[in-house]
Amino acid sequence: MRIKHFVHLFITFVVLVALCVIIERGPVYIGKTYGQSSQLQNEAHTVAQTIAAHVIQPLTKEHFNDYLTVTAKDVEAYRHYYGTLSEQLTKIEAEYAQKQQSVNEDVARALEQERAEKIADIERVFTDDAYVRTKVLALKEQVVQKIVIEEAKKQQNNLSSFTYYSYDLYDSKTMREAAFGNIHDDAIFTHHIEEGDLQNVRRTFLIGSYDVPALQPISYTVERSLQHVWGTMTIAKRANVSYVSEYSIFVMMQYVVYSMMAMAVIGALYAWRVRRNVRKVLCCNNPFVTYTASVPIDMFALFIIGAIYIVWAFIYSLSYTPGMFVIDIVQERISIYEWTKQLTWATIIFVMFIIVLYVAFAFVMRVKTLSWQQLWRQTVLYKGIDIVRIAFQKRSIGTKIVLWMVAFSGASFLVGEFRGVYSATEAVIVLTVIVVLLFFMMLHRVGQLTTIMSYTADVVNGQTPKAISITGNHPLAHHSEHVQTLREGMRDSLLEQQKSERLKTELITNVSHDLRTPLTAIMTYTELLKQPHIDEVERQKYVTIVDAKASRLKVLIDDLFEVSKMASGDVEMQKSKVDVAQLVQQAIGEHEEAFKAAQLDVRVTIAQQPIEAYIDGQKWWRMFDNLLVNAYKYSLPNTRVYIHLRLEDDEIYLSVKNVANYALNEDATELVERFKRADTARHTEGSGLGLAIAASIVNLHQGDMTIDVDGDLFKVVVRMPRTV
Helix (H) or strand (E) holding 235: strand 229-236
In the three-class reduction of DSSP (H, G, I as helix; E, B as strand; rest coil), residue 465 is classed as coil
Report field, pTM of the whole predicted structure over 0.85: no
CB 664 within 8 Å of CB 676: no
Do 271 and 194 share a structural domain?
no
Do 577 and 618 share a structural domain?
yes
Do 405 and 363 share a structural domain?
no
Cis peptide before 296 (omega within 30 of 0): no
Q: Is residue 271 part of a domain?
A: yes
Q: Distance between CA 637 and CA 557 in Å, rounded?
A: 30
Do 416 and 362 share a structural domain?
no
Positions of the chain with pLDDT lower than 50, given as ranges: 209, 674-684, 686
pLDDT on residue 641: 93
pLDDT on residue 718: 92
- Tell me the average pLDDT of the chain: 78
Q: Distance between CA 697 and CA 499 in Å, rounded?
A: 23
Residue 637 backbone dihedrals phi, psi, to 5 degrees: -60, 155
Do 274 and 176 share a structural domain?
no
Q: Is residue 568 part of a domain?
A: no
pLDDT on residue 675: 40
Q: Is residue 193 part of a domain?
A: yes
Q: Is residue 632 part of a domain?
A: yes
pLDDT on residue 8: 78
What is the residue-wise DSSP string for 539-557? HHHHHHHHHHHHHHHHHHH
Rg of the chain's alpha carbons, rounded to an integer? 59
Residue 673: give its domain's CATH number: 3.30.565.10
Domain boundary among 332, 351, 377: 377
Do 297 and 234 share a structural domain?
no
End-to-end CA distance of the chain: 76
Do 215 and 85 share a structural domain?
yes
In the three-class reduction of DSSP (H, G, I as helix; E, B as strand; rest coil), residue 613 is classed as strand
Chain Cα centroid distance, residue 137: 76
Do 270 and 195 share a structural domain?
no
Annotate 642-662 with b (16+ C-beta within 10 A) or e (fewer): ebbbebeeeebbbbbbbbbbe
N residues, the chain? 724
Do 414 and 343 share a structural domain?
no
Q: Is residue 542 part of a domain?
A: no
Partners of 705 in the β-ladder = 718
Residue-range definition of the domain harbouring residue 135: 34-240
Domain boundary among 408, 439, 460: 460
Q: Is residue 174 part of a domain?
A: yes
Do 143 and 111 share a structural domain?
yes
Q: Is residue 475 part of a domain?
A: no
Chain Cα centroid distance, residue 209: 61
Chain Cα centroid distance, residue 120: 89
Q: Distance between CA 604 and CA 609 in Å, rounded?
A: 13
Q: Is residue 693 part of a domain?
A: yes
Chain Cα centroid distance, residue 51: 62
Do 585 and 683 share a structural domain?
yes
pLDDT on residue 654: 92
Give the chain's domain count: 4
Do 174 and 259 share a structural domain?
no
